[in-house]
Structure 1
Amino acid sequence: MDVSKVEDFEKLRSKIEKDFGGKIDLLVLNAGIGLKGTWEEPSYFHKIMDVNLFGVIHGISTLLPFVTSHSSASSPSSIIITGSKQGITNPPGNPAYNASKAAVKTLTEHLSFDLSKSSPTTTVHLLVPGWTFTGLSGNAPFASGAEKKEKPAGAWSPEQVVEYLEAKMAEGKFYVICPDNDVSEEMDKKRMLWDREDLVKGRPPLTRWREDYKVEAEEWMKKTKI
């Protein structure tokens, strides 16, 4: 199916209703693309938003009742939506992708809040992977032989991400910010905090990447304990 098309979700909804009695225990909205483009290319923004953002919106708007209608304390349901660290720390280089994932974060936060009142046994989780070796990041998962690519040492496998997600879900966590073999949980927290302080302290945006703030940011990262 094409997640950018609401009619494809409507077909899926009919199939779930027919074959599974209209019940979903676990809904994972994970589809995403990572195109590159320029400010002069509206198609670049549309393509990314149609998949990364509206793919989530379409999934929620068509399938949410199937998740919440039968959820109970003895048989809870869950929704997992995949975000990105780029939608939180906002590194320069791909504004459409970052904006799509920032919007996904906001939507998922609101969904969690609303369902805490209307369907409290339906848990919502924002999955934010670190560097993960998937097709989106250079892997060729269905290749074989010489075409098979080896996972970089710094990246996690998808299986590691799932294990981390399951552990955080068991703890009842909404934000699931995954580390990887290059970036620790503490490093992620420092990067997120520095980014928020751009706003609070009235600094220019994206100071972690600006030459006139580079030394200050590096020193702050070294001395700050979280």
Structure 2
Amino acid sequence: MPIFKSGNTAVITGGASGIGLALATKCAGYGMNVVICDNNSSNLKAAVELVEGKGGKGKIEGVEMDVSEGLEFEKVKKVVANSGGKIHLLALNAGAAIPSPNPSNPWTSPNVFQKTLAINTLGVTNGLCALLPFILPHSTTSHPTSIIITGSKQGITNPPGNPAYNASKAAVKSLAESLSHDLSSRSPTTAVHFLVPGWTFTGLSGNPPFATEGQEGQPKPKPKGAWWPEQVVEYLEAHMAEGRFYVICPDNDVSERMDGRRMLWDRLDLVEGRPPLTRWREDYAGEVAEWMGRSAS
């Protein structure tokens, strides 16, 4: 991959834990300069030290910021401008799943919707509006650039339970698709990749970064079905090399074919005029089981 090259610069939001940290570590291993952006100061400090300790030749910098605030990206712009003014890899990865105070009736909690959309969706648009000028002008066939936008399977199949998170990630999918189409003609040497992790063992799933035994919030054992963040990044890199836009990651429980069947069933609700979310409706349980059973064939 010409993107993962010594001397190139990567900017990664949500880079102090989970998939973002795994990607930062990979970039550093190639000798890239890495700007790690995160809103957690202690995690950020530890992440910079960890990535620096990998022995890469590039410069590792941390920027404490809140992606939901557009002006916060001025901090990133300043760092990039002071170190050459070019971004070769932008990963808009920051995200949050904010629990509702009333899970059985989420429609009573407007603040949850506002905060979730501000972080997960506006965190992407804020980053694009602020940082595209550092990516597109210098992108050429011999020196291409890439943008990674992290989505979620919940933003595709929309399972019941967290409408704020689902809606925020559905919007991210739409934004990533629109960006890819736009840049295919405006900046064809800038690749856009929509990363959709499977079940991944991160802070959101019980693996808080940099926690040690005896501390509150110490890591739990990794579930057998989950992938490590490093596995997701390896899968991502391989699919970036193939020029893929959609990078839909499996995990140890869900295969690529199972994901495909689930996504296709969801779309058939629309095409065939069925009620929404029939995959989770009791009166469709038999049809869904039969449909998914075909995934083994």
Counterpart contact for 2:149–2:194, Cα < 8 Å? yes
Matched, 1:13 2:83: no
Q: CA deviation at 1:35?
A: 1.2
Residue matched to 1:187 = 258
Let me know the Cα RMSD of the aligned residues.
Answer: 1.2
Residue matched to 1:143 = 211
Residue matched to 1:71 = 139
- Give the share of equivalent positions with the same residue, in percent: 66
Counterpart contact for 2:206–2:219, Cα < 8 Å? no
Q: CA deviation at 1:34?
A: 0.4
Residue matched to 2:283 = 212
Matched, 1:123 2:191: yes
- In the alignment, the residues of structure 2 paired with residue 36 and residue 203 of structure 1 have an alpha-carbon distance, to the nearest angstrom, of 30
With normalisation by structure 1, the TM-score equals: 0.97
> 3-state DSSP class of the match of 1:176?
strand
Q: Label 1:176 to 1:156 Cα distance change in 2 as closer, same or farther (>3 A).
A: same
Higher helix share: 1
Structure 2 counterparts to residues 1-226 of structure 1, below 5 A: 1-17=65-81, 19-37=82-100, 38-146=106-214, 147-223=218-294
- In the alignment, the residues of structure 1 paired with residue 208 and residue 242 of structure 2 have an alpha-carbon distance, to the nearest angstrom, of 33
- In the alignment, the residues of structure 2 paired with residue 166 and residue 90 of structure 1 have an alpha-carbon distance, to the nearest angstrom, of 27
Q: Which moved further from structure 2: 215-224 or 57-66?
A: 215-224
Note the alpha carbon deviations across 1:61-87, whole angstroms, 9 max, x for none: 000110111111111100000000000
Q: Label 1:204 to 1:154 Cα distance change in 2 as closer, same or farther (>3 A).
A: same
- In the alignment, the residues of structure 2 paired with residue 142 and residue 225 of structure 1 have an alpha-carbon distance, to the nearest angstrom, of 39
Q: CA deviation at 1:197?
A: 0.1
- In the alignment, the residues of structure 2 paired with residue 12 and residue 140 of structure 1 have an alpha-carbon distance, to the nearest angstrom, of 25
- In the alignment, the residues of structure 2 paired with residue 149 and residue 116 of structure 1 have an alpha-carbon distance, to the nearest angstrom, of 43
Paired letter, 1:115: L
* 4+ aligned runs moved over 4 Å, structure 1: none
Q: CA deviation at 1:225?
A: 6.8
Q: CA deviation at 1:216?
A: 0.9
Q: Give aligned pairs, total.
A: 225
Q: Label 1:121 to 1:192 Cα distance change in 2 as closer, same or farther (>3 A).
A: same
Paired letter, 1:197: L
Counterpart contact for 2:269–2:275, Cα < 8 Å? yes
Paired letter, 2:113: F
Paired letter, 2:91: V
> 3-state DSSP class of the match of 1:20?
coil
Q: Which moved further from structure 2: 211-220 or 123-132?
A: 211-220
User: Structure 1 unaligned runs (5+)?
Assistant: none
Q: CA deviation at 1:21?
A: 2.4
- In the alignment, the residues of structure 2 paired with residue 56 and residue 46 of structure 1 have an alpha-carbon distance, to the nearest angstrom, of 15
With normalisation by structure 2, the TM-score equals: 0.74
